[in-house]
Structure 1
Amino acid sequence: MGVRNLIARSDSELVVNQVNGGLQARGPRMELYLRCVQRLIGRFKEVRLECVPREKNSNANALAKMGSQQEAMLLGSIPLEIQEVPSIPELRVMQVDESPKEIWMTLILAYIHKGTLPEDKFKARRLHYQAARYVIYDEILYKRGFNQPLLRCVDEEEGNYILREVQREFLAITRGVARWK
Structure 2
Amino acid sequence: MVENLNVFSDSMIVVYQINGGYQAKGPRTKLYLKYAQRIIARFNEVRLELIPHGKNEGADELAKLGSYREATLLGVMPLDIQRQPSVPEHEVGSLSDDLDPTWMTPILAYIKEGSLPDEKNEARRIRYKAARYVIYDGILYRRGFSVPLL
Measured against the shorter chain, the TM-score band is 0.3 to 0.5
Greater RCO structure (CA 8 Å; 6+ sep): 2
